[in-house]
Structure 1
Amino acid sequence: MTRAAFIIGPSRSGTSVLALALGRHPRIEATEELHFYNLLQPAAVADGHGKEWLWARLCAIQDEGRFFEIKSGSLAELPNPASEDLPGAETPLLRGFFDRLARNAGAATVVEQTPMNLYYRDEIRRDFPDALFFLMRRDPRAIIASQKMRWKVGAHGQREIPARDLARVRHSGHPILQLLLLRKTLQEVRLAMGEPDVVPIAYEVLVTDPDRKLAELAERLGHEYDPAMRDVSDGGSSHTPEGGRTGFDTQRLEGWRKSLTATEIWLTERLYRDELVMPATGARPRVGELLGLLFSLPRALAMALYYSAGGYGNLVDAARRRFL
């Protein structure tokens, strides 16, 4: 039976780079962000679609990189998979999909990397009773800075990110909006840390000591460490252009100092002092800038909601999990 692990945590906390590292092990297959529990499955339930519909979209995301088309609803109808490709009625659909990935890759373990699965741990446990959760943690200032600069990922990587999604991340990256969203996320992180199947991972430790940390995680999955795991690319950085480099770059740990203003640093340190990994800076706010952030917040929130419409299978349920 395929071993399953789910990388969870705040968005921009290092979930993608951990998936890249684990996926470089010859016996571990890392998936794309499948968004099964927060998008695909709720959409299937709401619209009355069956497992053929779900399977086809899982394949389109994993094999063809068509997540943005699926998320926006612009994807043309996909052909139904052959019945022999689908798991039996007794096997949860995503588990069957993981088995398919493992067979095709010659892997024993499949690792999924959707950060939003932080809010769907109970649903995952019903489908994967023996799963592990790798919980990423990161200094809140680095998370806020990465969210603020996230729109630059497309420019740095020259990726084809749809204009609607680019607009969404630019508006949702408003620092105060992200600080508000982070409150519930960190509450969920604290809850998850006390659960026996959750393995907490500090991004800062992963970057400064990747061999030791990746060896620990490989062992938890039943594998020996492979040094190739540390040779990840620099793709996906919101602070620096992607230059084709490999390896963990400790200079990125300080990137938030350049990306955030003194006011934004002050706000983050005031609200999340207990979550800081690096020492507080003692930054002071600028009154004019603080007022500007507050004044611009309502528009940023409205535009973020507008551009997020359709991005969740069940927007009401997603909002409840993220805010309440």
Structure 2
Amino acid sequence: MHKRVRRLAMRFGDAEVAAALGDPVFIVSAPRSGSTLLFSLLGNSPDIWTIGGESHVIFQQFPKLKAADDAFSSGALGAGHADAATAAQIRRFYLASLCNVRGETTYDRITSGSPKEGVFVEKTPRNALNIPFLLGIFPTARFIFLHRDPRANIASIIEGWQTGIRTGQFVTYRDLPGRPGPWCFLLPPGWQAHAQAPLAEIAAFQWRAANEAILDTLPTGRWISLAYEDLIADPRTQLRRLCDFCVVATGPALDQVAHLPLSASTISAPSPDKWRRFEHEVLDQEAEYRPAEVRLLGLPGASRGPCPS
């Protein structure tokens, strides 16, 4: 990847690289909202280009992007983190890494002089906190806001934390000041007040913080809302709606989808009542998540209660 980035820097100016990337689409959501499933489904369109996974490998090339500041105030990145040099280099990393379901790469396309048709789609859960940063790099970016009923979502975050503490999966920070043990998933501003809290409190805080950050920073007129529950209930219709938003063809794989596969990040078997394993813990956090839930219920395609996950 680094060799490709260097070659791109030598052969193409910043404006050419930005033009080749076009108007990317970012999936933003709280952790455990179904973004891995949605991302993998959309990646079946021949007109969608991705880096094949989440952007951690790219962010890791820039140590200053590990957290908001040296004090680890949060994992949120603002427009100030997207200085011109950083933004140009990140764009090169993406252009050097994108491929489509056919195995074609944007690097081969641009270096051979062929046009890159279609759209670049990305998803990394941390980006729920990073929309101002993303807009600093991609000023014309568009967004798919995937949201999920808080009860099922928070229960899934709790389960993810339990798995992370046991196995290391989902761990994002290992040595946070004041935090005994690892931290899983995204690190919102104000996390310090929850550093030693029960998992249910941390999970509800992460759900609220992610959804509120998205609602507060999405650019007007350049995003579409999708409830996870609607994706599960009618995947074909919802995927066509998203492809229309992205201005790409669905392709046979999406046109014919009827039954959804398990997400690569699934921890335990789906069930409509799975969230009730943590029912008491989750409902005890209603004061934390309810204000954000009310805002989500006002969106088109608002969630309508827990469903299999």
Query: Which interval holds the TM-score relative to the shorter structure?
Result: 0.5 to 0.7
Is residue 56 of structure 2 the alignment partner of residue 29 of structure 1?
A: no
2:225 paired residue number: 200
Counterpart residue type for residue 265 of structure 1: V
5 Å matches for 1:283-294?
none
2:267 paired residue number: 238
1:148 paired residue number: 158
5 Å matches for 1:113-124?
113-124=123-134
Distance in 2 between the 1:143 and 1:97 partners?
32
Distance in 2 between the 1:178 and 1:253 partners?
20
Is residue 28 of structure 2 the alignment partner of residue 8 of structure 1?
A: yes
Asked if structure 1 preserves the Cα contact closer than 8 Å seen for 2:170 and 2:184, the reply is no
1:93 paired residue number: 89
Asked if structure 2 preserves the Cα contact closer than 8 Å seen for 1:7 and 1:112, the reply is yes
The structure where helix makes up a greater share of residues is 1
Distance in 2 between the 1:160 and 1:224 partners?
34
Residues 44 and 146 (structure 1), Cα distance of their counterparts in 2 relative to 1, 3 Å cut: closer
Asked if structure 2 preserves the Cα contact closer than 8 Å seen for 1:141 and 1:256, the reply is yes
5 Å matches for 1:241-260?
252-257=271-276, 259-260=277-278
When the two chains are superposed, the root-mean-square deviation of aligned CA atoms in Å is 4.0
Asked if structure 1 preserves the Cα contact closer than 8 Å seen for 2:163 and 2:169, the reply is no
5 Å matches for 1:1-324?
1-3=20-22, 4-31=24-51, 32-35=53-56, 40-43=61-64, 92-100=88-96, 101-102=98-99, 104=105, 108-150=118-160, 168-169=183-184, 174-192=199-217, 195-229=220-254, 230=257, 232-240=261-269, 252-257=271-276, 259-261=277-279, 263-273=280-290, 275=293, 277-278=303-304
Residues 104 and 168 (structure 1), Cα distance of their counterparts in 2 relative to 1, 3 Å cut: same
Distance in 2 between the 1:154 and 1:233 partners?
19
Residues 137 and 38 (structure 1), Cα distance of their counterparts in 2 relative to 1, 3 Å cut: farther
Q: What is the CA deviation profile of residues 149-189 of structure 1, one whole-angstrom value per residue up to 9, with x for unaligned ones?
A: 1157689xx99888997964499881112223333223213
Distance in 2 between the 1:184 and 1:17 partners?
22
Distance in 2 between the 1:45 and 1:279 partners?
35
Asked if structure 1 preserves the Cα contact closer than 8 Å seen for 2:204 and 2:285, the reply is yes
Give the secondary structure class of the aligned counterpart of 2:152.
helix
Unaligned runs of 5+ in 2: 1-19, 68-84, 110-115, 175-180, 186-195, 298-302
Distance in 2 between the 1:219 and 1:202 partners?
17
Counterpart residue type for residue 178 of structure 1: A
In the alignment of these two chains, the number of paired residues is 226
Q: What is the CA deviation profile of residues 268-315 of structure 1, one whole-angstrom value per residue up to 9, with x for unaligned ones?
A: 4444346274459xxxxxxxxxxxxxxxxxxxxxxxxxxxxxxxxxxx
Asked if structure 1 preserves the Cα contact closer than 8 Å seen for 2:224 and 2:245, the reply is no
Distance in 2 between the 1:184 and 1:234 partners?
24
Distance in 2 between the 1:202 and 1:163 partners?
26
How far apart are residue 45 of structure 1 and its match? 9.6
Residues 28 and 270 (structure 1), Cα distance of their counterparts in 2 relative to 1, 3 Å cut: same
Distance in 2 between the 1:271 and 1:90 partners?
36
Distance in 2 between the 1:209 and 1:191 partners?
28
Identity %: 25
Residues 225 and 39 (structure 1), Cα distance of their counterparts in 2 relative to 1, 3 Å cut: same
Unaligned runs of 5+ in 1: 47-88, 241-250, 281-324
Q: TM-score, normalised by structure 1?
A: 0.57
